[in-house]
Amino acid sequence: MLCQAVHLGQSRPFAARVCQPSRAVRVSARASRGTRPEYIPNRIDDPNYVRIFDTTLRDGEQSPGATLTSKEKMEIARQLVKLGVDVIEAGFPMASQDDFEAVRAIAMEIGNNVDSTGYAPAICGLSRSREPDIERAWEAVRHARHPRVHIFLATSPIHMEHKLRMSRDQVLRQAVESVAFCRALGCPDVEFSPEDATRSEPAFLYEVLREVIRAGATTINIPDTTGWALPHEYGAFIADLRRNVEGAEGVVFSTHCQNDLGLSTANSLAGAQGGARQLECTINGIGERAGNASLEEVVMAIALRGADQLGGLRTGIDAVHLAPTSKMVSDYSGMPVQPHKAIVGANAFAHESGIHQDGMLKSRDTYEIMTPESIGLARAQGVGLVLGKHSGRHALATRLKELGFADLPSERVNDIFRRFKDLADKKKNIADDDLLALVQDEVHQPTAIWQLQDLQVVCGSMGLPTATVKLLGPDGIHRVAVGMGTGPVDAAYKAIDSLVRIPVDLVDYGMTSVTGGIEALATTRVIIRPAGELASTGTKQDYKGRQQQRTFSGQGAHEDVVVSSARAYISALNRMIPYISAQAHAATAAVDNARSAETATATVVV
Ligand code: KIV
């Protein structure tokens, strides 16, 4: 066996060995989970336990096109609880009323859902280092059992000079005052992030961190905001801060690694080796620009190599929920997972070459370091079920369960079964990917406001492409419209627009064939945004103070490419409509408030 001695990290001299993974290393992620230490904001009473802080709903939602509805955020939060994440960063409450409400709802429901072991995730709201933001974030999370506010302020020369236009003294004072203010509001758990920490001067950072710890910070997060650091550097940086910041022993250090150089997972693990005991990450690694550390990669690296290479590190994550969570986040955010993505990509467990297949047949250990089952996937051939037109509801439900969809309500399974039967009439064998596309089309959908009933197109090289659509509206009435366009999809979208009557811009449109063959299912993904007089209702302020136009994604799947496209478009509209109605409602309420304030003033004057 090839074994080579290497030293990783600076603070803890691990005499690590790189070995072929043995059977003993291939422990299931669940087996390495163990008990979860009691949640105490500023310390963890097990030196090997690493908190997983999920920021899919905050940093992840920052990805272009990834707007999530409040209902979707809640469902993702429920899934994060199944995974067992320690902290959910539920959003940036100051961004908009909608974001505030979503964080508050998650804090109230998910943050109080205590299981039999006493576990309930801490619910965190992000805040700039300003009193109104901090009050808003605290208001949003305060009803959780473990509420947390995460305050950030940049400390690098480049950010202080060009973005904040503040001196070091001003930054130091503002950071301290913000943390103290948050504690004075009654918040027991305050995380502080010196934004762009990895490009900050260490001596200044020691001073800022010492003072925010004195002011009451419980977690110190070290963001590699631009994804600049290399793993050995980042691990050494965390270790250096832990050694040199006065009061460091009384707080939990945390990593937050952006992926601009593709190093976010490696950096997070190096940070843990440097002594960080909270790792911030997102499902599928979604996030600003090139994204964030991917939760599934970080967690599986610790599950598989924590014992032998990371000094015994472990997390509280139940990895069997990884695959369904990844699928849910990808469907809701409209951000597909690349096929070769580690852990959750479609090819992560596919063995194409003859040599690999031969090895796999002799022993799975030859080319697999973890089993698909350990992340919530099952092999079709392992079960021996091939689904086709004679398969019944039970066989379908079993396969869905094996694919990670164990908790689908029976009416959802019925809907999928109906679609499955239609497809099986046209296609001999139904592959797992077909089923996943149907789940996406039937389950991971927004509440149906408009529903496609029928569609017919006339197209070709003679004459104008024309589409006739029949929709069921929110009032329960069927309406029919005809549209003409440059092609059949354009014609169908025009017909839908003439019924829904909400101005939108189509930002992106893409179609993929799920499996090969002429009878394959086509999945369509579209991204739209409010247009015309509604354009401004779609904007929100992100945590960097930028005005962002919200975009909404939708997916559809069908054997007919135009029907698939129409379903995707309606799905995106159904995601957008509640959002703009809520905005319009808030605007009307604001005008009404202003009017009653005017009346009140007038009364006083009189
Ligand atoms: O990337 C970053 O610096 C952040 C902070 C707000 C933690 O997202």
Task: Give the distance (Å) from ligand 1 centre to CA of residue 198.
Answer: 12
- The C-alpha atoms of residue 346 and residue 328 are separated, in whole angstroms, by 14
Q: Are 318 and 297 in contact (CB under 8 A)?
A: no
CA 551/CA 484 separation, integer angstroms: 25
How far is it, in rounded angstroms, from Cα 101 to Cα 324? 26
- Cα dist. 606→393, 593, 596, 599, 600 in Å? 73, 20, 15, 10, 10
DSSP SS3 for 240: helix
DSSP state for residue 36 in the 8-state scheme:
P
Tokens of 295: 């939760």
Could you tell me the distance, in angstroms and rounded to a whole number, from the CA of residue 280 to the centre of ligand 1? 10
In this structure, which amino acid lies at residue 485? G
Pick the atom of ligand 1 nearest to 193's CA: 7
Q: At what angle do helices 432-442 and 393-402 cross, to 10 degrees?
A: 90
Tell me the pairing of strands 51-54 and 87-91.
Answer: parallel
* Residue 152 CA, closest ligand 1 atom number: 6
Mutate to test the pocket of ligand 1, among 191, 256, 258, 259 (most ligand atoms within 8 A of CB): 256
The bridge status of strand 478-484 relative to strand 466-472 is: antiparallel
Query: Of ligand 1's atoms, which has the minimum distance to the CA of residue 292?
Result: 1
pLDDT of residue 440: 81
- Please count the other Cβ atoms lying within 10 Å of the Cβ belonging to residue 193: 26
Query: What residue ranges line ligand 1, CB within 6 angstroms?
Result: 59, 152, 193, 195, 221, 223, 225, 256, 258
CB 389 within 8 A of CB 421: yes
Exposed / middle / buried, residue 3 (Cβ in 10 Å: 0-12, 13-18, 19+): exposed
Please give the Cα distance from 20 to 3 (Å, whole number): 8
Residue 455 in tokens: 């569609």
Burial class from Cβ neighbours inside 10 Å (0-12, 13-18, 19+) for residue 12 reads middle
Give 277 Cα–ligand 1 centroid separation in angstroms: 17
Centre a 10 Å sphere on the Cβ of residue 158 and count the other Cβ atoms it contains: 12
Taking the centre of ligand 1 as the mean of its atom positions, its distance from the CA of residue 543, in whole angstroms, is 9
Rounded Cα–Cα distance for residues 375 and 324 (Å): 9
Residue type, 2: L
Both tokens assigned to 336: 């597909």
In DSSP notation, 338-400 reads PTT-TTTSTTTT---SHHHHHHHHH-GGGT-SS-GGGGT---HHHHT--EETT--HHHHHHHH
Distance 345 CA to ligand 1 centre (A): 26
Q: Residue 114: its pLDDT value, please?
A: 95
Relative to the CA of 126, which ligand 1 atom is closest?
6
Cα distances (angstroms) measured from residue 337 to each of 15, 257, 286, 327, 341: 36, 19, 9, 8, 7
CA of 32 to the centre of ligand 1 (A): 30
Task: Tokens for 379, please give them.
Answer: 């092999």
The protein residue whose alpha carbon is closest to atom 1 in ligand 1 is 225
Q: Is 517 exposed, middle or buried (0-12, 13-18, 19+ CB in 10 A)?
A: exposed
Selection from 165, 245, 149, 148 nearest residue 197 by Cα: 245
Distance from the CA of 417 to the center of ligand 1, in angstroms? 44
Residue 514, SS3 per DSSP: coil
Q: Is residue 290 classed exposed, middle or buried when 0-12, 13-18 and 19+ CB atoms within 10 A define those classes?
A: middle
CA-CA-CA-CA torsion for 102, 103, 105, 109, nearest 10 degrees?
A: 140
* Protein residue closest via CA to atom 2 of ligand 1: 225
Cα–Cα dist 335/344, whole Å: 13
Q: Which atom of ligand 1 is nearest to the CA of 62?
A: 8
What is the 352 CA–ligand 1 centroid distance (Å)? 39
Q: What are phi and psi of 295, to 5 degrees?
A: -55, -45
Distance CA 217, CA 198 (A): 19
Q: List C-alpha distances in Å: 404 to 374, 408, 415, 437.
A: 11, 10, 17, 14
Ranges of residues in the chain with a pLDDT under 50 are 1-32, 381-384, 594, 597-606
> How is residue 226 annotated by DSSP?
T
Question: Measured from the CA of 195, which atom of ligand 1 is nearest?
Answer: 3
Q: Please tell me the predicted confidence (pLDDT) of residue 281.
A: 98
The pLDDT tens digits of the residues spanning 150-187 come to 999 999 999 999 999 999 999 999 999 999 999 999 99
Tokens read off for 459: 């197209």
Residues 160 and 153 sit within 8 Å (Cβ to Cβ): no
> Which CA distances in Å does 497 have to 146, 192, 580?
45, 47, 16
Going from the C-alpha of 376 to that of each of 24, 27, 53, 73, the distances in angstroms are 20, 15, 21, 21
How far, CA to CA in Å, does 253 sit from each of 39, 94, 161? 15, 25, 26
| Distance of alpha carbon 252 from alpha carbon 275, whole angstroms | 9
Which residue spans within 179-239 are E strands per DSSP?
190-195, 219-224
Question: Between helices 70-83 and 322-333, what is the axis angle to 10°?
Answer: 170
Q: Smallest Cα–Cα separation from 234: which of 11, 438, 389, 504? A: 11
pLDDT at position 105, please? Answer: 98
3-state secondary structure of 543: coil
Evaluate whether 162 touches 190 at the Cβ level (below 8 Å): no
> What is the number of the ligand 1 atom nearest to the C-alpha of 59?
8
pLDDT reported for residue 6: 29
